[in-house]
Structure formats: C-alpha cells, structure tokens
Structure 1
Amino acid sequence: MNTTIENTVEELQLDKSKWKLTKFGDVAIQQKGKIDRDNTELTRYIKGEHMGSEDLHIRSWGDLTDEYLGPAFIRKFEKGDILYGSRRTYLRKVAIADFDGITSNTTFVIKANEAKIDKRLLPFIMMSEGFTENSIKNSKGSVNPYINWKDIAKYEFLLPPKDQQAKLAELLWAMDEVIERENEVLKKLEHTYFTLVDDLFSKKNENWEFIRLDKIAKINNSSLKSNTDPNYEFRYLDLAGIIEPKVIGDLKQIKFSEAPSRAKRVVNDNSIILALVRPYQKAFVYVDIGKDIIASTGTAVINVTADIDSKFIFHQFFSKKFTRYCEDRMTGTSYPAITPTDVEEFKVAVPKDKDLILEESIKLDELDNSIMFIKSKISSSKALQKSLINQVF
C-alpha cells in the first residue's frame, strides 16, 4: 500500500487552472459554544499537551475529575470538530476530535463549511506549509505568541473544484492510514520490548544476582583536563543532542578553547550515556564508537569493565525498576536529578548462567532494532505525507 501511494505521489500531475483562490474563513467556521463545567454531562477535556505536533489524532486527554482546570476551559467541541492550537503555531497542533468534550478558549474549535469543501480535506489544508507560515507571520507576542481568528480567516489558498476534492481527500487519508498502521506496529513492538525488560530485570529471580553497577563498570572515569590542548576538537554530546531515547542527532564540533564548562565527560567505545535529570530514559543512548565525543556533566558515562555484554546492561536502564530507583533518589525542585553516586549504587541484574546474557541480549537487541526500523518507516511516511499535502496546497 505504501509503495502504491509513493508511486501515486510521484505521478501526481495537478492541473490547478480551475482551482479557485479561497479564503480560509469561507470554508471553515469557528465554533464558540460555551460549557458550564458545573452543569454538564461532558467528562473529558483536551489541553495543548494532549495534541501532538503534525498529528491529526487525539491520543490522550484528561478527565474533569483529574485536576483543577482554570476558567479558560469553557469551549465545547463535538466529535469530528477540528481543534487548532492558537498559541505557538509553529508546533502545528491540528487534531480531529473523536469524542465530545471541553477545551480552552485558546484552542480554536472549527467545523468545515460543507457547502464549499469536503470536510475531510480541511485538516490537511491546516497542516500545509502555507497555512503554518501565515499563522507564524501573523502571530502576536514574543514569549507565548498567539494567532487571532481573523488573521487565520484571511489566509488564502487554491481550492480544487468539489468533484476533485473527494479524490484528493481519499489519497491524503490513505497516507494517514499507512502511518497509523505503522504506529500500531510500533506500539506492539515497544510493549513487547518493555514487557521483556521488566520481566527480566524488575522481578526477583533466584537464578540471577544483583550487583552494584560500580562493581562491574566505571562511571565518569575520564574527564577532560584543564590543560587540554585548546585546539583539540570534539563533538559535544549534551542532553539536547539526544533527540529521542537511544537516538543521537547531529553533534556540534567545537574546540576545547570554545567549549562550555560542562563539556567534561570523555566517551569511549561502547559507552552507556544516562541523563541525570528528569525525564529519565528520554535521554539515554548507547555509543558504539566514542572517538572524540565529550559528554556534558549532566550525564553519567558508563563503561562496563566486567566480561558482560554492555548492551545487556544498557537495556536495564529502561526498566520500571530503574525508574522507581531514580524517583526515590532524585533531589531538587526545578530540575529534579540523581547523582553519579546514585548511578554507581544501582544494582544491575546478572544471571548466574553467563550463557543467558548473550541469549537475552540477542532478544532485546532484535526488538530494539525492529523498533528503530519501524520508527524510520514512520518518519519516511510522514515526510511523504507532508510532500503530498504541500503539492496539493
């Protein structure tokens, strides 16, 4: 299916000669229905954090009994309405509600004017580069920029005739279905991975030993010295360089003389890098080749010295056991953190039968590789979807 869509996108020859320049306000209707929260049967609400960037689907929500909501949460939305985050519009928060609920007055609730547009097409117009650029350009404020409805309503784009809209909508939603199927595969793989990690490392097992990490590994064993050659160049790995769990982005190459004072931890081959600040596990990576990489002092750099597969140890930091350990030991309010000593004292699981280490490592690595593969496919599919949207609009 994905290949078919890719071919369709490549062959897409759009004749826009009969398309009509249209104002967004002519095809979209802002809904301003208000709710008395003390007298409503509605139970679910949507905050900005419940809407993902460039994701048309609502994947989480809150319940009115969960927490105190400020007075801004008065806007009613219905199943099928489009929700648009009017603040920090560069985040591209456009989502279709699949239930009735409540949101804040800073989230626009939008219905399609079905007399003029196929409603399935409207959310993709809002995902286009042109729509986003217009919102960013016309936003007010600097700290928390916002867009007014009148500025969105004035945005102009080319709208295809009604007889073409349905076909284009079908193609765009077919691409979305591909991404959703891939997301389902990812969800299942991650569930299998984390279940196996917890089964292995979070439960008591009489055939396993629990050993302090510093007994089998060196933590932050090597640091850059103050007399390091000022022209020494390295790649700097701070927490911002870890773009998602287990994935390092492009690292900036800098000279020691220009490096921040936090650039201290020397990374070696097969180093495990742990973030010492919350959220734990979001910035954990394994570095196969550590040559000329220096990590921030906000990390713990771990090198396994015992005859144990270091990847086997790495997987253990994604267990609920390690998360609970961190939560029990973290200190600080603004930036809760653990210390290198806490990392040293953490007890890792090691089977008494050493052959099990390789066996379990292979299982975990295979799952991990499958997760990375499907994430790559999702990324490619999203790029194709974006290309298709921008070809049309």
Structure 2
Amino acid sequence: MPIKKIDLKNLDKTNWQSYRFDEIAKSITERIDPNNTDLEMYIGLEHLDPESIHIRRNGTRDDVKGQKLKCYPGDVIFGKRRAYQRKASIVTKEGFCSAHSMVLRANPEIIEPKLFPFFLHSDLFMHRAVDISVGSLSPTINWGTLKKQEYYLPPKDQQAQLAELLWAMDEVIEKELEVLEKTKNLLNGFVEGVIHGKHLNDKGLQKTKIGLIPLGWKVLNMDDIVSVKDGTHFTPKYTNKGMPFLRVTDIQCSNIDFKKIKFISREEHNQLIKRCNPQKGDILYSKNGTIGISKIIDWDWEFSVFVSLALLRIKNKKDLNISYLKLLLDSVHIKKEIYRRSKQGTITNLHLEEIRLFRMPMPPLIKQLEIANNVEKINNSICFIESKINTSKSLQKTLINQIF
C-alpha cells in the first residue's frame, strides 16, 4: 500500500493488535564500569534533548563514576527519571549511559525498529510513562510497571510505510537545523569580525588596547557611551494587577509574554520610579544568576520597573546606535569578557562598576547603522528558519499522534 494512500486522519485500526511493552521492546541492563572500558562515549540525561530522537552531544568516561548501562547502535536511551521531559533518543555509537535512563531495544518481530523511536515520542506512550512514574521530587519509571503496559500497533507492513513517512519528515527538520546552524555561525563570524577589525576596514587597521580595529574607530568605556544604572534593593509583593514588574525570566525570550509577567502595587512602584525607570530604546541587561541576557525595550509603557539585583538599565548617551550596542553585548567575545569579570559564587554576579569600565570598539554612527542593519538581516533569516523548524516539528508531532 503506497504511503500516499494512508489517510492518517482516518487511520483504520481494526486490524491492529495489542502488545505488552516487554513484547515490543527489551530493557537492556548490561552494566559497565567507566574505569574499566575502552569505550569513550558517555550519554547522560543532560545530553538528551526533549522531544528529539537525535543525540547531538555527549560526555566521556572521565566525566562519571560508578556503574553505567552499556548501549549499542540502534538502541534508544529513554529518560526514566522525570519522564515529563520527553527524552528518548537513538544511539548511533557504542557507549554507555546514565543509570537514570533505560536502554530500550525494539523487538523487530513486533515493531519496525525505525518506527520504535517515534512511538516512544507519542503522547500515548509519554503520557502513560508520566502516569506510572513513582516519587514526588524525582518521579521515576520502574521497568516492572512499564513492561506490563499494553499498546496497539499496526501490522508490520504498514509500520514500515509509516516509519518511512516519519523519517522523511525528520530529514526535512534536520536539513533545516543545518541551515540554522550555518546561519548562526555566519552571524557570529560577522560580529566577531567587527570586533576584531576583520570587516569594514577599507581604511586600514590600528592597534588598540583591545586589539586591531579599523582606522577611524575609537575604543570607549561603556560609561563613556551609555548610562548604566542599578535599582534599589527591593523585595516585591506581587499583586494580580498594578504596575508591570520585569524579571530576568521575562526578557529571555524574543517577545515578552505579558500574560506571565508579575505586577506590583502603585505605592511600591512610586518608591522605585525615581531610581530606575526604563524607557523605550533602553536595554535591560541581566547581571545576576544568568548573566549576559539583553533585551531592547521596544514597547511604550508609562510605568515599568524591574528587580535591581538581577537587571541593569542601559540608556543611550550620544552617538550610539542601541542595536549596535546590543550586538556587541550578545557577541561571544564580549560574553567571555563579561564572564571573566563576573564574581563566581552561589549566584554569579556582575558588578555594576565592571560593566561601566568595559571597553567597546566604537565606529562612527553611520558605520554602526550599517553593521546593525546587516546583523538585523541575518537575525531575520534566523527567525524565519526557526519558524520553519517549529512548524515542521509541530507537523511531525501531529503525524506521530495521528498514528498512535
């Protein structure tokens, strides 16, 4: 039966059969000591991406201690701890993995091995996995419970066709991810080239305290070009309505989710407004905990305040394009310097004085605009590719759930 004749929206399941999970797959419990093996690849739960069948990174045997589970190409590593994270990825190279996972091997007599990883990512399987997990702080699945669960599967000939369809969709996503990675590398390369004087240097280069930069550019401290301001020490009392109160979590996404922001009373707001009142065109910058997150304020709010211990307000002084400053703050080079200057402890902290003294390569304003426009074009491409990937992933997930 050709794939094009399979109506996934009205899939005929009258000839499907029910199987216990231990008929569908085996749990591989072969143990391995990282100190007594030639195998190098270690895969922990931290190396598995949620809702992805691919393993994109790994650790080594030097990273771990204690016995682990051995895994072979074709096996699927399933995160039995915190199953709600939906981690189940295919092994491509012999290695070993965390004991907080299960190594599952499809039974080819019952399920097409190429279809098995997609089955594990179906809502049917994942929701059941969450339901049978035990424990409150770190809910975990027991094999003894999982193996008894029953699932309906299509006939083997139909499984092969469905697997082919899902892998074709996966190939589309993987190609889009490759394009995204190349585009991000292009952006990073362009920005780093700007910082190190590898671009826009038709007039030649000059030596400075931060390295080579184009002639006609200056090296300025942050304090020379912007006003960097802290707020006051303040423990907010949140209310259901009032004045918006921004936190680091609010600026981590490209667009602020106004349904999730916190509010404070007008009285508390009035205490803070004189100290720190960010306006449209300012940059909010995180300096505590997760440091180095920047967000240009692109909305008009008469009132908005933010936590002083986590965010800085950066306001333009003169001859500065704020988009150019943001691309510098977001660059790999600047982030490395910021982390070098930050204070490590229970909470990572970047002192206000450190960022005020930070040196920036500063071209004439017209060149800043040129650079910012080029970066904006690349960022627009990245946003477009990410949108395509999200659409493709959503379609893939829909297909999986229509099948199972």
Question: TM tier, shorter chain?
Answer: 0.7 to 0.9
1:136 to 112, 117, 130: 130
Q: Give the distance between the partners of 1:201 and 1:275, measured in 2 at CA.
A: 22
> Structure 1 pair 250/31, CA: closer, same or farther in 2 (3 Å)?
farther
Alpha-carbon spacing, 1:201–1:251, altered in 2? closer, same or farther (3 Å) = farther
Q: Which residue of 2 aligns with 1:53?
A: 50
Tell me the residue number matched to 1:388: 399
2:94 corresponding residue in structure 1: 100
Shift of 1:237: 2.4
State the partner residue of 1:214: 223
1:296 equivalent in alignment to 2:329: no
Contact kept in structure 1, 2:8 and 2:402, CA below 8 Å: no
User: Cα gap change, 1:374/1:9 in structure 2, threshold over 3 Å: closer, same or farther?
Assistant: farther
After TM superposition, the score normalised by the length of structure 1 is: 0.88
Matched, 1:337 2:345: no
Residue number in structure 1 paired with 2:159: 165
Task: Tell me if structure 2 keeps the 8 A contact 1:263–1:296.
Answer: no
Partner of 2:172: 178
Taking a change above 3 Å as real, the CA distance of residues 49 and 254 of structure 1, as seen in their structure-2 partners, is closer
Q: Paired residue for 2:338?
A: 326
- 2:295 corresponds to 1:285: yes
- Aligned AA (2:65): G
What is aligned with 1:249? Answer: 257
Give the Cα–Cα distance (whole angstroms) in 1 for the partners of residues 268 and 134 of structure 2.
34
Decide whether aligned partners of structure 1 residues 279 and 221 sit closer, same or farther in structure 2, where only a CA change above 3 A counts: closer
Q: Distance in 2 between matches of 1:259 and 1:22?
A: 63
Give the TM-score normalised by structure 2. Answer: 0.85
CA distance in 1, matches of 2:106, 2:369: 57
Could you list the per-position Cα deviations for residues 53-99 of structure 1 after superposition, in whole angstroms to 9, with x for gaps in the alignment?
A: 1111111111224x3x1214x21101111000111111111100111
Distance 1:263 1:377, change over 3 A: farther
Kept in 1: contact 2:213–2:361 (CA 8 A): no
Alignment of 1:1-393 (within 5 A): 12-65=9-62, 67=63, 69-72=64-67, 74-202=68-196, 204-207=212-215, 208-220=217-229, 233-244=242-253, 246-252=254-260, 254-257=262-265, 265-281=276-292, 283-291=293-301, 292-297=303-308, 298-351=310-363, 353-393=364-404
Contact (CA 8 Å) 1:35, 1:102: kept in 2 or not? Answer: yes
Distance 2:8 2:109 in 1: 30
Measured in 1, the distance between the counterparts of 2:385 and 2:329 equals 22
Cα distance between partner residues in 2 of 1:171 and 1:124: 11
Deviations 1:149-182, CA, capped at 9 Å, x for gaps? 1222223222111111011111111111111111
Query: In structure 1, what residue type is equivalent to 2:298?
Result: D
Deviating 4+ runs (over 6 angstroms): 7-11, 221-226, 258-264
Aligned alpha-carbon RMSD (Å): 2.9
Matched length: 379
Equivalent AA in structure 1 for residue 285 of structure 2: L
> What does the per-residue CA deviation read over 1:123-143, in whole Å, with 9 as the maximum and x for residues that have no partner?
111111121111212212111
Flag the 1:204–1:10 CA change in 2: closer, same or farther, 3 A. farther
CA distance in 1, matches of 2:136, 2:312: 36
Q: In the aligned structure 2, how far is the partner of 1:145 from the partner of 1:312?
A: 46
Q: Return the offset for 1:259.
A: 10
